[in-house]
A and B are shown apart, each in its own frame.
Chain A
Amino acid sequence: MSSGGPAAEATSAAALVAGHGEFATGLVSAAEEITGQPGFFATMTNRDLGADDIEVQMRALVAARGVRVIFTDLPAGSCTIAARRILRDRPEITLVTGANLAALLHFMSHGAGTAYEAAVGAAERARSSVLVVGVPGGR
Chain B
Amino acid sequence: MGVDLFRVDDRLIHGQVVVGWGQPMRLGFIALVDDEVAASEWEQELYRMGVPPEMHVYFEDVDGAARALPGWQRDPRPGILLTPDIETMARLVVASPAVRTVNLGGIHHRAGRVHRLRYIYLTPGEEAALRSLAARGVQVTAQDVPSARPMPLDDVLRAQGER
Q: Name A residues whose Cβ lies closer than 8 Å to a Cβ of B.
A: 20, 48-54, 73-78, 80-81, 84-85, 88, 97
In the complex, what distance in Å separates the CA atom of A20 from the CA atom of B119?
A: 14
Q: Which residues of B contact A50 (CB under 8 A)?
A: 10-11, 106-110
Question: In this complex, what residue of A is CB-closest to B47?
Answer: A81
Partner of B13, one of A20, A76, A88: A76
Q: How far is the CB of B23 from chain A (nearest CB, A)?
A: 12
Residues from chain A with Cβ under 8 Å of B15 in the complex: 20, 73-74, 76-78
Whether A76 lies near B10 (C-beta < 8 A) is: no
Minimum distance in angstroms from A44 CB to a CB of chain B: 15
Chain B's interface: helix, strand, loop or mixed, by majority?
loop
Q: A84 to chain B: which residues have CB within 8 Å?
A: 46, 49
Interface size on B, residues (CB 8 A): 21
Q: In the complex, which residues of chain B have a beta carbon less than 8 angstroms from the beta carbon of A77?
A: 14-15, 50
A69→B156 CA distance, assembly (Å): 40
Q: Does B114 contact A (CB under 8 A)?
A: no
Contact with A along B4-41 (1 / 0, CB 8 A): 00000011111100110000000000000000000000
**Closest CB pairs A-B (n = 9):** A50-B108, A75-B50, A76-B50, A78-B14, A77-B15, A78-B11, A50-B10, A76-B18, A74-B15
- Return the CB mask of B46-74 against A: 1 if under 8 Å, else 0: 11011100000000000000000000000
CB-defined contacts of B108 to chain A, threshold 8 Å: 48-51, 53
Q: How far is the CA of A115 from the CA of B134 in the complex (A)?
A: 53
